Amino acid sequence: MNATGEAPVSPAHLQILALQLSYNCFSACRPCVYACHPNRSRVMRADEAKAIIDQARTLALTKNFGFSGGEPFIHLDLLHELFRYVKDHYRYKMSISTNAYWAKSEAAAKGVLKELVDLGLWSLLVSVDDFHQEYVDVENVEHCVRAATELGVKCFMQSIETRSSRKTEDFKKSLRIPTDSELVEWASIPCDPVGRGEREIPAEDLILEWKVQPGICSMLKVWIVDPYGWVSACCGTAASDYLKVGNAFEEPLADIVHRANVNPLLNALAAWGGPFLLMDLLRDQGFPEFAGSLYTGPCHACHAVLGNREAVEKILPALDHRQLDLIMSRLVAQKQAYQHYQNKGKDSVWLPSPRLF
């Protein structure tokens, strides 16, 4: 037991629950994997969201809920209601993704964020890149981040990049925000040819430099519930029915998570941090083109593999046959990945050999 009297959670089971309140957004960014726009989808109702939140206590989750979209701040009243519910019943920390369209001034941004901080907000995922800035003034991003850091809110800055776009380093240098603060972290995200990105970003502008290799990804670490109740087992950009593991409006979330945690295909993706093992097996089944191609990253590679149902169905029997081995490999790999993160990348990451399979 820890100081609060709770049983400690194994590093292999540290998982996050995120609610995608809608796919609605005032922007229609060209790389958007969900093809968001102002009236893209229904909005998750408060009672639906609360029912899912109530079920989270039956799972081995970190004490942090995420809210994403679309643009969650479009539904500010709903955010207030859900934040208040979580604070009153669970006191978990909460995170929101945003493009900062709403931060018209620093004072306005501080007013919006202060209410949420008082209810449990601890971090923001803030988009800033050439594509979001086609719709949102970069000053809004500056207002948002300056206000957030003054309030002690962590800001994870995310920039989507293509060959011709400005890069993360460009924004780090140009934005008038406290870039050296411990409350500000940056990530570069290559544009994946998924959703609107596949249609509106020229293929020659994609950064196709990633070769298939094992790594670390969010598979079976993040549970995302979309506005229609469908649960995805990762937060990546790959779009596939193989990654939809059930509907939280129709069956208990615990049943969905348990089923996903023993799914051989998902465990293979989680253990190798992407489709490395799958491509190795596909090569043996007469699909060498997957392993021989270049991708923008592991999510693009996963999207390419899982988008070919004929290929996936060829290797499912082999994965099913080694279900227990795959589950154990994933648990060990996730524990090692957690330790690697705790050691700030100073040690090596253990990964199982694909030749075991």
pLDDT mean over 300-326: 95
The continuous run of DSSP H or E covering 184 comes out as strand 184-190
Residues of the chain above pLDDT 90, percent: 78
How far lies 187's CA from each of 184, 296, 318, in Å? 10, 15, 36
Give pLDDT tens digits for 231-285. 999 998 888 999 999 999 999 999 999 999 999 999 999 998 899 999 999 999 9
Inter-residue contact 99 to 72 (CB < 8 Å) = no
Q: Of the given ranges (15-19, 181-185, 305-309), which has the lowest mean pLDDT?
A: 15-19
- In this predicted structure, the answer to whether residue 164 has a pLDDT above a threshold of 60 is yes
Task: Give the residue from 24, 23, 26 showing the smallest Cα distance to 136.
Answer: 26
* pTM attached to this predicted model: 0.91
- In this predicted structure, the answer to whether residue 12 has a pLDDT above a threshold of 60 is no
Mean pLDDT, rounded, of the chain: 90
What secondary structure does DSSP assign to 59-123, as a single string? S-EEEEEEEESS-GGGGHHHHHHHHHHHHHHT--EEEEEE--TT-SSHHHHHHHHHHHHHTTEEE
Residue with token string 């800033």: 128
Please state, in angstroms and rounded to a whole number, the distance separating the CA atoms of residues 309 and 305.
8
Backbone angles phi, psi at 101, to 5 degrees: -60, -30
Provide the pLDDT for residue 170.
97
pLDDT mean over 207-227: 90
- Token pair for 45: 């109702």
pLDDT mean over 123-151: 98
Beta strands 222-225 and 230-232 are: antiparallel
Please state, in angstroms and rounded to a whole number, the distance separating the CA atoms of residues 135 and 37.
12
Give pLDDT tens digits for 35-65. 999 999 999 999 999 999 999 888 877 788 9
